[in-house]
A and B are shown apart, each in its own frame.
Chain A
Amino acid sequence: DGGITQSPKYLFRKEGQNVTLSCEQNLNHDAMYWYRQDPGQGLRLIYYSQIVNDFQKGDIAEGYSVSREKKESFPLTVTSAQKNPTAFYLCASSMPGQAYEQYFGPGTRLTVT
């Protein structure tokens, strides 16, 4: 089955620790995205990547970092510099260009205490 996977589904961390969220896709999509969703809110773009070894900051990149070493993978690291990291994180992928829909993973709920 083609799709996009995120792991783990739930993640708990202590304040001050970095944590990396996994995102893998086998849809052969060039573009991948990370979003953050807070309760009752829409999605806000953290980082996106149009192609391997390239990525750009989204609207709320501070306190986050990404890498894109393989087409299939786009991990997100939530660093200790992120002031309010507790949120629902969604990864998505798409064909490149403006005309295409995005395919979403099931999300990772991160709780930092």
Chain B
Amino acid sequence: SQQGEEDPQALSIQEGENATMNCSYKTSINNLQWYRQNSGRGLVHLILIRSNEREKHSGRLRVTLDTSKKSSSLLITASRAADTASYFCATALNYGGATNKLIFGTGTLLAVQP
């Protein structure tokens, strides 16, 4: 079964508003990553947060990580129509291995209305 589950499954907002997506996972992680996918395209890496970090920023993106609750959130501020996409969280498990195996969540479909 998939490790991560995003919430909500779909989100529709107006341009200029903030969008918040949440991700929950089940087991201990090395890091958590957020990716974006435009319809019918490949995924683009947005941000990586390590298990010993609590918050990270990149431009209009803010990611938080709460390892005690096994959850993360992605905040997109001042959204634009071009932010319309699916957003996935992916967890790298903390099992001490050398392999960069990621487990992806089910995704949040964000629609930003102009």
Which A positions have Cβ atoms within 8 angstroms of B? 6, 31, 35, 40-45, 48, 50, 56, 58, 88, 90, 92, 94-107, 109
Contacts and interface: CB of A to CB of B under 8 A. Distances in A.
Most-contacted residue by chain A among B33, B35, B50, B102 (CB, 10 A): B102
B98 to A, nearest CB: 6
B106 A101 contact: no
A45 B101 contact: yes
B104 A43 contact: yes
A12 B66 CA distance: 44
Most-contacted residue by chain A among B30, B45, B90 (CB, 10 A): B45
Interface of B: 2, 4, 30-31, 33, 35, 40-45, 48, 50, 88, 90, 92-94, 97-107
A103 to B, nearest CB: 7
A96 B30 CA distance: 14
A74 to B, nearest CB: 14
B30 A99 contact: yes
B99 A31 contact: yes
Given A42-B2, A100-B100, 7 more contacts: A45-B101, A50-B98, A94-B100, A96-B99, A98-B97, A99-B30, A109-B40
